[in-house]
Amino acid sequence: MDAFRVYYDKGSIGLMITLARMPVEELKAICRENCLDCTGNYRKQQNSQELAEFITHRVRCMSEKGNAFG
């Protein structure tokens, strides 16, 4: 799943809804594949809701990086 494509198409609410349906291991794979957490703290997470919120936050931050002046 391309978290960034879902974010661009459906926004943060749409991404959160999409992620909420996924199991923890799939959410961890999304973190790993998209380099959303360079510290690797997501690997300790066992709560899918918290992982979905984390992914949504990181995707939003990464998508908006550099838009402060635009």
pLDDT tier at 65 (50, 70, 90 boundaries)?
Answer: confident
**Distance from C-alpha of 69 to C-alpha of 37, rounded to nearest angstrom:** 25
Does residue 70 register a pLDDT over 60?
A: no
Decide: 18 and 51 in contact? Cβ < 8 Å: no
Tens of pLDDT, residues 1-54: 899 999 999 999 999 999 999 999 999 999 999 999 989 999 999 999 999 999
The first and second tokens of residue 41, run together, are 């703290």
Q: How open is the CA angle 35-39-43, to the nearest 5 degrees?
A: 80
